[in-house]
Chains A and B, each alone.
Chain A
Amino acid sequence: MNAIERAGKELSRLPGIGPKTALRLVYHLLKADPARIAQLTGALTDLADRVRPCERCGNYSDSDLCDVCSNPRRDHTTVCVVEEAYEVGAIERTGQYPGVYHVLGGKLSPLDGVGPESLRIAGLRTRVAEEGVREVILATNASMEGEATAVYLESILRNVQSLRVTRLARGIPVGSDLEYVDGTTIAEALLGRREM
């Protein structure tokens, strides 16, 4: 296998990139300034060498603590629990959330061999016990597995003194007519129904 094929093969392992696109990217890189390739390899090497999960929350970071955990202006008594690190970015972009995060690294799915011990759950318990956390917001996805993970977390945190456990709201989008909402959304809103 020559260098071009090897680079193409590596790129095509990335999600959403087929063999054809991978080769197009390789030729694009070959045509560009050689410094560009060096920059790209440098950036990738840094990913492998320097980025690691934040010791506290599991978000990716260049240092022991991530930018959020090390920021004294954040509200460290409110912890938002998400499945994956990229979801931190989605919430951060809203600019509305003052608290900190906890990244589970997935969701419960016994079918895929993922049980509670495979997720960053012990760490969450430690934080709740030792860091004066007052509220945990369960922001796992509305998928069945995300829901079950939230239920699990709620039940292990239920008995912690003066801790509030909340769930991200979901359901029918504001201002929409039931008739025009798809079945999945109605079904989820039905599951998320509350007493009035």
Chain B
Amino acid sequence: MRGFRNLGVQELTFPREGVAILGGNAQGKSNLLEAIYYLETLRSFRGSGDAQLVAFGCTVFRIEGDLAGDADPVQVAAAFDRGSRRKRVYLDGDPQDTLAAGLGRVGAVIFSPDDIRMINGPPAERRRFLDVVLSLNVPGYVEMLQRYRRALAQRNAALKASEGPTALEGWSRMLASSGSVLVCARARWIAERAGSFSAHYEAVSGAEVAALSYRPSVDEDETLASTEARILSALVDAERRDRRLRTTTVGPHRDEMAVVLEGADREVREFGSGGQRRTAALALRLVEADTVRDVRDPDPLVLMDDVFAELDQARSDRLLARIEGGRIGQVILTAPKEADVRVRRDALPRWQIEGGRVAA
């Protein structure tokens, strides 16, 4: 890597089983995981803009990852130029025409204390989680998402320009055709993963069960075509209100995904304790890891950004058992001090990080 945050120019070779990286606050632990995970999603997992990732005094950052094993491609690289605001992804050295071509090539999952936002935050946070997971694991999803977002911006602009019903119809149809793909993919993923979400939740919590449920703005139907028809008619029905509010009020951009405590039938987001919320966020990451493994076969690279600090002892122990009992690949974790290294405690070598420099 070069020019990324405070990491300077460094080349690191991570041991096969992984590594525990120890360092104090603001030494660059999270930056290092951010750089690695950037190669999976081509953006910061902390929500930072690309320009913010460029080191002070630099105009460009570049990250290259060489993947071991039977990986194809073998090398994934990403670069961003703050001057031209251009971002490029390279597979085995070849620049790709689209960023989408480079998504999800590493097969990584990241656990971070910020994950709690997926539970505490507004519905947009949970849609973002769904969109990232599905973009990385479902072919064609990210293209549909881009198409949907553009159609939404066009329809909203048409509403602001008070264009007639016929002119609006074109954009509504574009929203319905791309939106149906999003809704069906989201519904299918949640239905497929609901069981393992509950199992992960129960295992980490030690007692209660929680369920993952999809609450689409417009319900999915049996087929893509019938879902498309449903979204279209919902848009037509909403037209008068949309004209008044000058924005599109129905569709997958208003979807919600809820975590509900079983028995109590209450949403964790509103009624959960701190521990329950953290457990729900962890269970989401664990189903994400399952998805990566099922879709892309190799065991996922697991990145953990000081995850255990926020958990009580009992939950930490159970999470540990869950992670170590499952099939995961390389583990790269960060912790402020030795006592916080929990996963693969005896197997992982310890590295130190200070001022962005990693020392093995």
What is the distance, in angstroms, from A6's C-beta to the closest C-beta of chain B? 28
B-chain residues with CB within 8 Å of residue A40 when the two chains form the complex? none
Check B181 against A156 for contact (C-beta < 8 Å). Answer: no
Say whether A155 contacts B169, CB under 8 Å.
yes
Q: In whole angstroms, what is the CA distance A109 to B163 when docked? A: 11
Interface check B57, CB cutoff 8 A: no
A147 closest partner in B (C-beta): B174
The CA-CA distance from A187 to B153 in the complex, in Å, is: 19
Question: How large, as a class, is the contact surface on chain B?
Answer: 20 to 34
B323 lies within 8 A of chain A by Cβ: no
Q: Determine whether B273 belongs to the interface, using a CB cutoff of 8 Å to chain A.
A: no
Of the candidate stretches A18-26, A41-49, A74-82, A110-118, the one touching chain B is A110-118
Bound-complex Cα distance A113 to B100 (A): 28
Flag whether A137 is at the interface (Cβ < 8 A). Answer: no
A115-B161, A155-B169 known; A145-B154 Cβ under 8 A: yes
CB-CB contacts below 8 Å: A146-163 with B: 147-152, 155-156
Known: A116-B167, A144-B174, A151-B170. A187 touches B151 (CB 8 A): no
B147 touches A144 (CB 8 A): yes
Min CB distance B144 to A, Å, is 6
How far, in angstroms, from A182 to B139 measured CA to CA in the complex? 9
A140 CA / B199 CA spacing, docked (Å): 50
Chief secondary structure at chain B's binding surface: helix
Nearest A-chain residue to B100, judged by Cβ: A183
* Cβ-defined contact, A184 with B169, below 8 A: no
Identify which of A144, A152, A184, A193 contacts B150 (C-beta below 8 A): A144
CB interface residues, B 281-326, toward A, < 8 Å: none
Chain B nearest CB from A169 CB (Å) reads 16
Interface pair A184/B143, CB less than 8 Å apart:
yes
A190 to B143, CA, bound (A): 11
| Chain B contacts with A in 148-166, Cβ cutoff 8 A | 150-151, 153-155, 157-158, 160-161, 163-164, 166
A191 at the interface (CB under 8 A from B): yes
Task: Indicate if the CB atoms of B173 and A148 lie closer than 8 Å.
Answer: yes
- Asked if A128 is at the interface (CB within 8 A of a chain B CB), the reply is no
Contact (Cβ within 8 A) A110 B157: yes
* A111 and B153 contacting across the interface, CB-CB below 8 Å: yes
Which residue, of B151, B170, B177, has the highest number of chain A Cβ atoms within 10 A? Answer: B170
**Does B54 have its Cβ within 8 Å of any Cβ on chain A?**
no
B178 interface neighbour in A116, A150, A152, A191, Cβ under 8 Å: A191
Across the interface, do A110 and B170 meet the contact criterion of CB distance under 8 Å?
A: no
For the complex formed, measure the closest distance between the CB of B297 and the CB atoms of chain A, giving whole angstroms: 15
Q: A115-B163, A145-B154 are in contact. Are A186 and B173 (CB under 8 A)?
A: no
Q: Do A108 and B174 form a contact, CB below 8 Å, given A115-B161, A148-B151?
A: no
Interface residues of A, count at CB 8 A: 25
Given A111-B157, A144-B151: A187 touches B169 (CB 8 Å cut-off): no
CB-CB < 8 A to A152: which residues of B? 166-167, 169-170
Give the nearest-CB partner of B173 in chain A: A151
The answer for the CA separation of A17 and B178 in the assembled complex, in Å, is: 37
Tell me whether B10 is interfacial, beta carbon within 8 Å: no
B349 to chain A, nearest CB (A): 38
Task: List chain B residues, Cβ under 8 A from A184.
Answer: 98, 100, 143
CB distance from A41 to the nearest CB of B (A): 35
Q: Does B171 belong to the interface (CB within 8 Å)?
A: yes
A144→B36 CA distance, assembly (Å): 33
Tell me if B122 counts as interface (CB < 8 A to partner A). Answer: no
Q: Kindly state whether residue B24 has any CB partner on chain A within 8 Å.
A: no
A187 touches B157 (CB 8 A): no
Cβ of B26 within 8 Å of any chain A Cβ, yes or no, is no
Q: What are the residues of chain A within 8 A of B98 when measuring CB–CB?
A: 182, 184
> Nearest Cβ distance between residue B188 and chain A, in whole angstroms?
15
Chain A to chain B contacts (Cβ below 8 Å), 17 pairs: A110-B158, A110-B160, A110-B161, A110-B163, A111-B154, A116-B164, A144-B174, A145-B154, A148-B173, A151-B169, A152-B170, A156-B166, A183-B100, A184-B100, A187-B147, A190-B140, A191-B177
**14 extra interface residue pairs, beta carbon distance < 8 Å, beyond A111-B157, A116-B166, A183-B140:** A110-B155, A111-B153, A115-B161, A144-B154, A144-B178, A152-B169, A155-B166, A183-B142, A184-B98, A184-B143, A186-B143, A187-B140, A190-B140, A190-B224
Nearest 10 A/B pairs, CB to CB:
A110-B157, A148-B170, A151-B170, A187-B143, A110-B158, A152-B170, A187-B140, A111-B157, A183-B143, A186-B140
